[in-house]
Amino acid sequence: MTLLEVKSLTKNFGGLTAVSDVNLVLEEQELVGLIGPNGAGKTTLFNLLTGVYEPSEGEVIFDGEKLNGKKPYKIANKGLGRTFQNIRLFKELSVLENVLVAMNEKNKEGFFTSVLRLPKFYQTEDRIKNETLKLLSIFQLEEKAEERAKNLSYGEQRRLEIVRALATQPKVLFLDEPAAGMNPQETAELTELIRKIQKEFKISIVLIEHDMSLVMDVCERIYVLEYGKLIAHGTPNEIKENPKVIQAYLGGEI
């Protein structure tokens, strides 16, 4: 079933069209790549889909509902989770607290339950903590639960960002260059993790990534952007052999 539909999406910044007439679909439980040279419009497209920017033209339809004009937190609550290119953790908070903050919006107790610390409040708190620890264990971060985020290795911080996005219980997870700055070992582990996330959480994933081996390895379909326009889409094998894609990446020197 189609989960997300993007119709003729365009974003202008003054005279620059960063995203131009883009159409794409995302099915349930699909793992899709979004690639393209630097400045192609990939992050802008993520920002349009998650409500950070309003489209200049076009529509974003999620689960049959038009998202245009909705605030980012409303869109997140509807089930679109994301990570950012630059790490955005609360560095002074513990790993556990970082995830609890992300979960908070989804699990808000009634005002009186919270303020009066009724039994339900503690039950909910315990349940959330247990769920969080379970989530952390999938990402091999359980033993670091009490560690401050700033003391984690780079790869661990990136994994924690993904945990935070998953804590909002998304139906679609947008990962913006999750392997950026990772060494080959960390990238290989991340590749496995992305597969595991899709299977265990049964969600759709859209992945922006410059590491082509990662993209070709995990994605079922790939969309290619160049100068804001979609120039190709297809399976990894089709994309690898597409002359327009080769031209975009290698400037015609095949």
Ligand X SMILES: Nc1ncnc2c1ncn2[C@@H]1O[C@H](COP(=O)(O)OP(=O)(O)OP(=O)(O)O)[C@@H](O)[C@H]1O
Using CB under 6 A as the criterion, which residues of the chain lie in contact with ligand X when the complex forms?
13, 16, 18, 36, 38-44
**Least gap, CB of 106 to ligand X (angstroms):** 28
Of 100 and 173, nearer to ligand X (C-beta) is 173
Of 36 and 81, nearer to ligand X (C-beta) is 36
Of 39 and 236, nearer to ligand X (C-beta) is 39
Of 41 and 170, nearer to ligand X (C-beta) is 41
Of 82 and 144, nearer to ligand X (C-beta) is 82
Q: What is the DSSP letter of 190?
A: H
**Least gap, CB of 73 to ligand X (angstroms):** 20
**Least gap, CB of 201 to ligand X (angstroms):** 25
* Contact between residue 209 and residue 179 where contact means Cβ atoms under 8 Å apart: yes
Q: Which residues contact 151 (CB under 8 A, 6 or more apart)?
A: none
Q: What is the spatial distance between Cα 52 and Cα 47, in angstroms, rounded to a whole number?
A: 5
Measure CA of the first residue to CA of the last residue in the chain; give whole Å. Answer: 38
Distance of CA 202 to the CA centre of its chain: 14
**Least gap, CB of 44 to ligand X (angstroms):** 3
**Least gap, CB of 174 to ligand X (angstroms):** 12
Q: Where are the alpha helices (DSSP H) in the chain?
A: 42-49, 72-78, 95-104, 111-115, 119-138, 154-166, 184-201, 212-218, 236-241, 243-250
Strand order in the sheet with 229-234: 80-82, 172-176, 204-208, 31-35, 221-226, 229-234
